[in-house]
């Protein structure tokens, strides 16, 4: 079972990483944020704006996986029963929004994720869900 110290460490790490990401974004202008690395494939070829929408979307997806894991024993999220609620600015439209809008969307999604995570009891952190792209997640 996860200890309270481990849970707090998780929240601290999430906050540190988000702070570092936001600091890195301070020096990026709108034009730079739309550059897609020509040598990149898949995620490595995404622009900064596309990455921001991806992070927002992953928070949203993760919450749905957690909700299922709390309600079911090891759900398989590929079964079509996991809601897929689109973002206000989805990845395909990332370049139509400015950086502050995308950061606000990303931060709002993270706030909801943190709210959900803070409401989970320590023993519930051991619950799992199967996500085809990642395997077994806790």
pLDDT on residue 1: 81
Beta-bridge mates of residue 136:
130
Instruction: Evaluate whether residue 40 is within a structural domain.
Output: no
Q: How far out from the chain centre does Cα 117 lie?
A: 13
Instruction: Evaluate whether residue 59 is within a structural domain.
Output: yes
Instruction: Evaluate whether residue 33 is within a structural domain.
Output: no
pLDDT on residue 42: 87
Instruction: Evaluate whether residue 38 is within a structural domain.
Output: no
The 8-class DSSP code of residue 2 comes to -
The three-state secondary structure class of 117 is helix
Q: How far out from the chain centre does Cα 111 lie?
A: 11
- The pTM assigned to this predicted structure is 0.92
The domain tally of the chain equals 1
CA distance linking residue 100 with residue 102, whole number of Å? 5
What confidence tens digit (pLDDT) does each residue in 7-18 have? 999 999 999 999
Alpha helices in the chain (DSSP H): 4-25, 48-71, 99-118
pLDDT on residue 40: 85
Instruction: Evaluate whether residue 35 is within a structural domain.
Output: no
> 17, exposed or middle or buried, with CB in 10 Å at 0-12, 13-18, 19+?
exposed
CA distance linking residue 90 with residue 94, whole number of Å? 6
What CATH number has the domain bearing residue 17?
Answer: 1.20.120.450
Instruction: Evaluate whether residue 64 is within a structural domain.
Output: yes
Instruction: Evaluate whether residue 9 is within a structural domain.
Output: yes
What confidence tens digit (pLDDT) does each residue in 64-91 have? 999 999 999 999 999 999 998 999 999 9
Q: How many residues does the chain have?
A: 138
Sign (positive or negative) of CA dihedral 100, 103, 107, 109: positive
pLDDT on residue 41: 85
Instruction: Evaluate whether residue 117 is within a structural domain.
Output: yes
The residues, ordered by sequence, that sit 6+ positions from 9 with a Cβ below 8 Å of its Cβ are: none
What confidence tens digit (pLDDT) does each residue in 20-60 have? 999 999 999 999 999 999 888 889 999 999 999 999 999 99
**pLDDT higher than 90, residue 2:** no
Question: Which domain, by its residues, includes 80?
Answer: 4-28+45-137
Chain mean pLDDT for the chain: 96
């Amino acid at each position: 079972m996860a200890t309270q110290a481990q849970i707090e460490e998780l929240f601290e790490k999430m906050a540190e990483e988000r702070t570092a990401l936001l600091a890195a974004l301070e020096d990026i202008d709108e034009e730079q944020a739309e550059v897609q690395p020509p040598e990149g494939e898949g995620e490595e070829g995404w622009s900064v704006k596309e990455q921001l929408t991806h992070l927002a979307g992953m928070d949203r997806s993760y919450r749905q996986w957690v909700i299922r894991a709390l309600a079911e024993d090891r759900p398989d999220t590929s079964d079509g029963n996991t809601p897929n609620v689109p973002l206000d600015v989805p990845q395909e439209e990332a370049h139509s929004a400015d950086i502050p809008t995308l950061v606000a969307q990303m931060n709002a999604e993270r706030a909801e994720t943190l709210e959900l995570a803070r409401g989970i009891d320590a023993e519930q952190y051991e619950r799992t869900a199967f996500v085809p792209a990642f395997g077994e997640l806790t």
